[in-house]
Amino acid sequence: MLIIKNIISWILDPKNRSLLVAVAFLVVLFFLLYTCNRARSLQLQIENNKEEVERIVNNHEASQDTLRMYQKENGDLVGEIQGYELTVNELKGSYKNLLGDYTELKNKPPITITKVVTVIKDSIRDVNISGSGDSTGGELTFQDSTFFSEGNWRNLSGTIPYLLEGDSSNPVIPGKGSFELGQSISLSTFLTKEKETGKIMINVETPYPGVTFSNIQGASILDDDENKKMWKQARKTWGVGISVGYGFSLAATKPSPYFGVGLNYSPKWLQWGK
């Protein structure tokens, strides 16, 4: 009881009023800051949950989306389809088909990944053919080259041997031909994210004529904690490098410029970036 009386007396003492007001102010300020911080954390959690629900819904829509084809004013063909936004675990699990045979990407997840299947329909007409041979046979050769634009061209060449038998009802006997086809097709692939809906859209564009896209798949990989962890694990601690700088060395008693090649060690926790 004596302790309680002393506490009450100390509180009621006018000399301690300023200290009590300051303590009360600090307590109120602390609770206000705690409440604001708690409200901000809850708001961020709600926003993150909303974005996660939006991402799941968009991924489901992407699985149901179909490929759209259209031609731009400059004649380029464009294929467009909705893509995925995935975590590293999803890329390694339910969507591992996007990785295909690229097993090295399982330890170094990409930022984006796309898969494009193209179909080319082309007709080659009015090709000059030259022949050489004698009364027993010979060969026919041809070559055709077409340049469409920078990075888009086609070269076709071939040889067809034949034999001649004058006494046969079918005097020309064709042999097995050999053909060589060289093509260069430029593809521009880019992923965009719609600001309002958060949807990932994949666009593939080419100026090569006669090309259609039969299948386009792709995803943007989230830069989440799992992704950062895998990138950190992929870092190298040892390496050979070139050093250039200014400072002290074992052979010098005062600072001086230096240049050298050496073995470097950098622990993963001291490295930053990807």
Give how many domains the chain has, as a whole number: 3
Residue 208's pLDDT band, with cuts at 50, 70 and 90, is: very high
Q: Is the pLDDT of residue 198 over 70?
A: yes
Q: Is residue 251 part of a domain?
A: yes
Q: Is residue 41 part of a domain?
A: yes
- Position 51 scores a pLDDT of 82
Q: What letter does residue 111 receive in the DSSP assignment? A: S
Q: Pick from 65, 114, 46: which is nearest to 86 by CA?
A: 114
Final residue in a domain of this structure, among 184, 204, 222: 184
The tokens describing 165, both together, are: 């038998």
Task: Write the pLDDT tens digit of every residue in 135-186.
Answer: 888 999 999 999 988 899 999 999 999 888 877 677 888 889 999 999 999 9
Task: Write the pLDDT tens digit of every residue in 120-137.
Answer: 888 888 888 898 888 888
Domain that holds residue 21: 2-49
- The shares of helix, strand and coil residues in the chain, as percent rounded to the nearest 5, are 30, 40, 30
CA distance 206 to 74: 11
- Position 225 scores a pLDDT of 59
- Position 184 scores a pLDDT of 93
- Position 207 scores a pLDDT of 92
CA distance 274 to 272: 7
Q: Is residue 95 part of a domain?
A: no
Residue 5 or 226, more confident: 5
The tokens describing 127, both together, are: 């090709």
Residue 249 or 272, more confident: 249
Give one DSSP letter per residue of 2-17, joined into a string.
Answer: HHHHHHHHHHH-GGGH
Q: Is residue 200 part of a domain?
A: no
Final residue in a domain of this structure, among 169, 184, 199: 184
Q: pLDDT averaged over the chain? A: 79
Q: Is residue 158 part of a domain?
A: yes
Q: Is residue 40 part of a domain?
A: yes
Query: Quick check: helix, strand or coil at residue 143?
Result: strand
CB neighbourhood size of 32 (10 A): 10
Task: State pTM to two decimals.
Answer: 0.60
Q: Is residue 167 part of a domain?
A: yes
Residue 39's pLDDT band, with cuts at 50, 70 and 90, is: confident
Task: Write the pLDDT tens digit of every residue in 84-120.
Answer: 988 878 887 888 888 776 666 556 667 788 888 888 8
Final residue in a domain of this structure, among 11, 30, 49: 49
Q: Is residue 13 part of a domain?
A: yes
Helices assigned H by DSSP within 65-75: none
- Position 89 scores a pLDDT of 80
